[in-house]
Structures are given as C-alpha cells and as structure tokens.
Amino acid sequence: MSESFVVRVEGPSPAMAIAFDLVKRSLWIIPVAVLISAAFWGLEGVASTMYAIAIVVVNFLFSAYLLAVTGRINAALMGGAALFGFLMRLALIFGAVLLVRDASWMSFVPFGITLIVTHLALLFWELRYVSSALAFPGLKPQKSPNPYLPSNSSDTDEAVSPVVATDPQ
C-alpha cells in the first residue's frame, strides 16, 4: 500500500480558518443584499435572500468541516470528501430549495440571484486573504513588526499621550 494513502493532515485545519473568515465577510454582504432585495422584491425578496445567504454560509462551513475531519484520517479520504462532498452539498442545496418551494415567502428570482452572486462574491473576495504559499496554508499571516529591525522611535521617546485640559463647562 502506498504511503500517500495513509498520510494525515496534522494541526489546525486551514479550510476551517478560511470558512470562518468567509462567514465573517458574509456579515458585510447581508445588509447590502437585504436592501437591494427589499427595494426590488419587498418582504418576500428579503426572506428569500436571507434564506439563500444562510444556505451559502452553511455550505462553506460544511465543506470545510468535511475537509478538516477527513484530513485528520488520511489524505485519500480528504480527496474523496472534496469530490463527493461537492455532490452531496449540491444535493443538500437542492433539498433545501425543494423544502420551501411552495412557501408563501419564497421568491425564486432574488433567491437564485443571491445564491449565485453570494457564492461567487465571497469566493473572489476571499482570494485576497488566502495565502498561496505552502509555508502558510490557509489565510495570509498578519503583518507584524520585525523585533530585530530598528524602529523609527528611539527608546527615550516613550509613547506618552499628551494630557489635554478640557473645560468642564
């Protein structure tokens, strides 16, 4: 048996870090999507839009969870989870749509637009924050000052904030 089939992914999952970052970025999209759907489709559009955003967020989290769990078992299973997990997540989205297709609040035009645009917008937005280096899998590391390089301020100039007298009146 080849050793590539028994290799495990150790440490924290980069997929989960990326998924949580995507969820954080989706919080910025919600107000914009709600305002646009309210302007064009009213309350039914808002409800459909919120349902679509919930599906997108759950989809990303479930995908990352599958990769994180199966990666701890072995790499071949993680590859299978990536391939067949995609098909399973598509089936879950299909089931979520079938579940509410006859609901009075469901409007398919804002739902479909939100589902597609939110998936693509979050993925393209996240491209700016994902590391392309194997040394830092997942999100790019935050820039921090190098403690070994001299700084612009000297040791005698401590960061003292000036005290400003305020008029009590």
The pair of structure tokens assigned to 131 is: 């590391």
**Tens digit of pLDDT per residue, the chain (169 long)?**
556 566 666 777 788 888 888 899 899 999 999 999 999 999 999 999 999 999 999 999 999 999 999 888 888 888 899 999 999 999 999 999 999 999 999 999 999 999 999 999 988 888 877 766 655 566 666 677 767 777 665 554 455 545 444 545 5
Q: What angle is formed at CA 32 by the lines to CA 29 and CA 33, rounded to 5 degrees? A: 80
What total of structural domains would you count in the chain? 1
Distances (CA, A) of 132 to 43, 60, 63, 126: 41, 19, 20, 12
Q: Is residue 9 part of a domain?
A: no
Q: Is residue 120 part of a domain?
A: yes
Q: Is residue 113 part of a domain?
A: yes
Q: How far apart are CA 66 and CA 134, in angstroms?
A: 21
Distances (CA, A) of 17 to 11, 14, 74, 101, 117: 12, 5, 19, 33, 22
**For the chain, how far is it from start to end, CA to CA, in angstroms?**
82
What are the DSSP E strand ranges found in 30-147? none
Q: Is residue 132 part of a domain?
A: no
